[in-house]
Amino acid sequence: MRPQIEFRHVLGELSVNRNDPCEVLRELISNSYDAQAKNILYIPVKDRSGLVFFDDGSGLDIENKVHGITPWEAFFSIGKSTKKQGDAIGYKCQGSKLCFASSRILVASTSDWKKGVWHYKVVENPRSNLDTSFDISPEKSNDIVSVLSGFFSAASADTASSVEYLKSRLFKPTSSSATLIMIDGLETEGYNKYFSVGDDPALSYVTNYIRYYTKHGDARYITDKQGFTASQRTQVSAGLKPAELIIYSAGVEFEVPFGYPYLERGNPDLNLKSPAQIARLRDGRFYSRAAKKFSVGSNKFSIILAIDGNRRAHDEYTTLARKGRTNSGIKLSDQRGLFVSVKGIKICKYPELLSLIDEYKVLSEGDSASHYTIIVDGDFDLVTNRNSLSKKAYDTLNDSDFLQEIRKFLDAQKSSDKTFSELLNRLRRESSEILLNEQIEYLENAKEEIKTRERFRLTDSNGKEHLFLSPRPGEEYLVGVLYSQLSSFLPKKDGMEKFWRRVLTFSTQGIDSLGMRTEDTSAPLSEKNVCSIEYKYEFNNSGPFNHALAVVDFIVAWDIDVKDGEKVSDSFTCFGTINKVVGNNFEWEISGIENLDGGTYSQTIVVINLKRLISETFNTKFTTP
């Protein structure tokens, strides 16, 4: 019997996910539920950075093939599975293979537990040794206790105690079959932080991970104590079969409750203030619940809404970390907002879903998510590592029919639930106030900022002095405004009129402006008299000009940084040569314009340095505070 390993490099590169180190447990628990286990046991083995995992599910059959492979072979194989896509949780075939990121592993299973007949295999350094030449044929034993006793050699007192506890469980069959996995030297950082259990198991990372991120914390399991109605529970939770999951550590058994830990509704007679009644929304202790099952085509989905005001969540999620309190290490903020789950397993946040529905976009903004948890569950497709959704899943979430069902659910809740309706209105009002305050702050900052800007002064024909500000990078529009505005200040008979084209239009698309070449009173708007003008803060040769040179007559820039004889090209097909005009220090010309195909253009583009032109035309000075 040999493992069937497709993509050989996958096993060699297999490692425990640093961002999700307990992923290996999530996959083992998923397999247990797929195997219809009623009892699951997890034992951390601290002194060996290992673990024991046991369940009484259907076991790893060594004889009967499913989809061309026995369950025993599938456990040791990459890319092979007895599960059909959509039939079970771990169909991506990586799942329990995370166990192989270890120094050694014992896999044992029985289909005749009461008679004590087990088949087992110990693999040393599985990442290196498991290949298509490795014999995974199991050994058979009627004394599995002796096998597991020898697995952890030179065990500490704590490990020895855990092994004795495991033995006692093995002597009490709860079904006809079972599976046992023992791992020595799991290759993970921070083993004690993530896998071990302290004096208070409820506060440990691993306990909370199981409750919030695994099949045992099924997000579809909702109860009357949490405030969900009988109808909601029937729709969403029907058919779920909880297993008993025990963590054993330091001589203590701890049962991990089944289901995602939505807060219980508390005392129904408690006089809680609604969102509209409290002075600060973040101090809210209000709550509300809703859940529904819906279909889109042949696919079925569930949506669960659990509203718990920010203060209530902070006070009652006592095991979760928040600012100033580390607790289990799993963050409260990571449990607030909208999530996508797959068959009850919470996979990832997806607030973008709400932003796609205009009426409820405010729920995805700012701190809105601190007041609720929304879980959308379905048979969504996953990428191989199971930590995120595939493109197919995102296509489903963005489908108009799917979004319409989410909107219908939220609409119904808004019309029937005062708490949800008031929360929405309060969030919208505060969002508007925040935006208004941001605009006010921006305006106040802008008013303060102009006091430090470079400026210059001009006197009009009536002797009145006017203050102007110099543009800054990115303010091309101001370059155009100044060029247009200052033309009305020109001294009479100065000889500079030809450089100041009277601007007729401004545009944010295409050519920036159209202007007149001369004040031709007979035909001011004739085609020959109308010219095109482009504005730049700085004209340089660091990149192609963003308009076709063939259609530009004038370029007005606040500053110019080019050298005589340089080539100037556009982002189309034209190029030319720029040279400074002899006789003044503010004018350049681009001439010799042609395209890549060899076509030529007769016009010459005038390039003006506006800052220098202002100095020479008006004899003014620029000053900076």
Residue 12 has pLDDT above 50, yes or no: no
pLDDT at position 129: 85
Roughly how many angstroms between the first and final C-alpha of the chain, as a whole number?
A: 85
Please, which pLDDT band fits residue 385 given cuts at 50, 70 and 90? Answer: low
- SS3 state at 123: strand
CA distances from 426 to 278, 351, 370, 419 (A): 10, 19, 14, 10
**Residue 378 and residue 590: Cα distance in Å, rounded?**
63
Q: How far apart are CA 173 and CA 167, in angstroms?
A: 11
Q: Which residue has the higher pLDDT, 228 or 66?
A: 228
- Is the model more confident about 124 or about 84? 124
- Sequence-distant (6+) residues with CB within 8 A of 504 are 513, 514, 515, 516, 530
Q: Is the pLDDT of residue 80 over 60?
A: no
- Dist. CA 58–CA 35, nearest whole Å: 5
| Confidence band for 5, pLDDT divided at 50, 70 and 90 | low
Least confident interval from 20-24, 171-175, 218-222, 281-285 = 20-24
Say how many residues make up the chain. 625
Percent of the chain with pLDDT over 90: 73
User: What confidence category does residue 420 fall into, taking pLDDT thresholds of 50, 70 and 90?
Assistant: very high
Write out the two tokens for 136. 């995974």
Res. 131 pLDDT band, cuts 50 70 90: confident
Q: Give the domains, in start order, of the chain with CATH numbers.
A: 8-228+242-256 (3.30.565.10), 281-436 (3.30.230), 455-618 (no CATH)
CA-closest candidate to residue 178, choices 64, 60, 272, 284: 60
**Counting beta carbons within 10 angstroms of the beta carbon of residue 402, is it exposed (0 to 12), middle (13 to 18) or buried (19 or more)?**
buried
Cβ–Cβ < 8 Å for 181, 99: yes
Three-state DSSP class for residue 390:
coil
Q: Which of 305, 335, 304 is nearest to 317 (CA)?
A: 335
pLDDT for 9: 45
pLDDT computed for residue 285 by the predictor: 93
- Report the SS3 class of residue 254: strand
- What's residue 89's pLDDT? 42
| Contact status, residue 353 vs residue 406, Cβ threshold 8 Å | yes
pLDDT of residue 611 exceeding 90, the answer is yes
Task: Determine the Cα–Cα distance for residues 397 and 353; give it in Å rounded to an integer.
Answer: 7
Residue 46 above 90 pLDDT?
yes
Given a cut of 70, whether residue 13 has pLDDT beyond it is no
Checking if the pLDDT of 85 tops 50, the result is no
Average pLDDT over every residue of 422-428: 94
Task: For residue range 212-259, list pLDDT tens digits in order.
Answer: 999 999 999 999 999 999 999 999 999 999 999 999 998 999 999 999
Compute the distance between CA of residue 420 and CA of residue 424 in angstroms, rounded to an integer.
6
Residues 6+ apart with CB under 8 A from 439: none
HEC-encoded secondary structure of 499-516 = HCCEEEEECCCCCCEEEE
Q: What distances in angstroms separate CA 407 from CA 123, 314, 355, 380, 411, one per listed residue?
A: 52, 28, 12, 19, 6
DSSP code, position 365 = S
Position 172, amino acid: K
Phi/psi of residue 416, nearest 5 degrees? -110, -15
Tell me how far apart the alpha carbons of residues 443 and 391 are, in angstroms, rounded to a whole number: 42
Tens-digit pLDDT profile for residues 47-65: 999 999 999 999 999 998 8
In this predicted structure, the answer to whether residue 545 has a pLDDT above a threshold of 80 is: yes
Q: 7 pLDDT exceeds 50?
A: no
Q: How far is CA 80 from the centre of its chain?
A: 30
Report CA torsion sign: 478, 480, 484, 490: positive
Q: What are phi and psi of 74, to 5 degrees?
A: -60, -35
Cα–Cα distance for residue pair 305/292, rounded to 1 Å: 9
Say which DSSP state 370 is in. G
Round the average pLDDT of the chain to a whole number and report it: 90
Q: Which amino acid is at 332?
A: L
How confident is the model over 290-299, as pLDDT tens digits?
Answer: 999 999 999 9
Q: Are 209 and 330 in contact (CB under 8 A)?
A: yes
How sure is the predictor about 386, in pLDDT bands with cuts at 50, 70 and 90?
low
Q: What is the pLDDT of residues 431-481, one digit of tens each?
A: 877 777 788 888 999 999 999 999 999 988 888 999 999 999 999 999 999
- Residue 227, sorted as left (phi over 0), alpha (psi -120 to 50) or beta, turns out to be left
pLDDT-wise least confident of 131-135, 316-320, 586-590, 610-614: 131-135
Q: Is the pLDDT of residue 159 over 50?
A: yes
DSSP class of 320 = S
What is the DSSP code string of 438-463?
HHHHHHHHHHHHGGGS-EEEEE-TTS
pLDDT band at residue 113 using 50, 70 and 90 as cut-offs: very high
Residues 6+ apart with CB under 8 A from 87: none
pLDDT at 91 over 60: no
Specify the higher pLDDT residue, 547 or 453: 453
309 pLDDT above the threshold of 60: yes
Rounded mean pLDDT, 177-199 = 93
- Mean pLDDT value of segment 611-620: 92
Q: How confident is the model at residue 270 (pLDDT cuts 50, 70, 90)?
A: low
Residue 29 has pLDDT above 70, yes or no: yes
